Amino acid sequence: MIRVQEEDFDIGAELAALTAGRTTIGGVATFTGLVREMTPVGGSNRPINAMTLEHYPGMTEKKLAEIDAEANRRWPLDASLIIHRHGRLKPADRIVLVACASAHRQAAFEACQFLMDWLKTDAPFWKLEDTDAGGVWVETRDTDAAAATSWNEAPGGK
């Protein structure tokens, strides 16, 4: 399931809905991303007041569905969920929830990490950090790009 929305989400309610009536699920791996109050710049941290996430409706959901389908192709998942917020978010607000459910934990863990690595690098979201010095667009970090690229090295994962 894919959702791109402005409103917050309830993690417990989302996981309950994802697993309801599915007795084949042995484990659920999740990742919840939050807005930090500081962002790394060079060798120090810069405080941020808020982050604005922009996207193109339709295109974003299509790309998220494609990568979700790829995760389900690579791993034996019983269910998966990506919720990504857009709009203006403050520090400590939830940005993203990724959940992968499978009969066994390894598939759930790997699929969840795969989805997050892809979201950090290739999902069509644009992030603008609001700082005291003005707005700063967030670029993909080399470490995030390397993590995403590493999934291309092996057919089932890293």
pLDDT in tens, 67-113: 999 999 999 999 999 999 999 999 999 999 999 999 999 999 999 99
Does position 133 have pLDDT exceeding 90, yes or no? no
Give the contacts of 15 (CB within 8 A, at least 6 positions apart).
28, 30, 99
CATH number at residue 37: 3.90.1170.40
- Model pLDDT, residue 101: 98
On whether residue 128 sits in a domain, the answer given is yes
pLDDT in tens, 19-62: 999 999 999 999 999 999 987 666 667 889 999 999 999 999 99
On whether residue 156 sits in a domain, the answer given is no
Contacts by residues 35-39 (CB-CB < 8 Å, ≥ 24 positions apart): 35/89, 35/90, 35/91, 35/92, 35/93, 35/95, 36/91, 37/91, 37/92, 39/129, 39/138
On whether residue 13 sits in a domain, the answer given is yes
Residue 45's domain comprises 2-150
- Model pLDDT, residue 41: 66
pTM of this prediction?
0.87
CA 34-35-38 angle, to 5 degrees, is: 130
Does position 135 have pLDDT exceeding 90, yes or no? no
CB atoms within 10 A of CB 22: 11
Question: Which token pair is 107?
Answer: 């598939």
| Angstrom distances, CA of residue 9 to CA of 24, 37, 84, 85, 95 | 25, 20, 9, 9, 9
Band the pLDDT of 144: cuts 50, 70, 90.
low
On whether residue 158 sits in a domain, the answer given is no
On whether residue 16 sits in a domain, the answer given is yes
On whether residue 73 sits in a domain, the answer given is yes
- Model pLDDT, residue 131: 86
- Model pLDDT, residue 146: 65
At residue 113, what are phi and psi to the nearest 5 degrees? -65, -45
On whether residue 99 sits in a domain, the answer given is yes
Query: Could you give the number of structural domains in the chain?
Result: 1
On whether residue 155 sits in a domain, the answer given is no
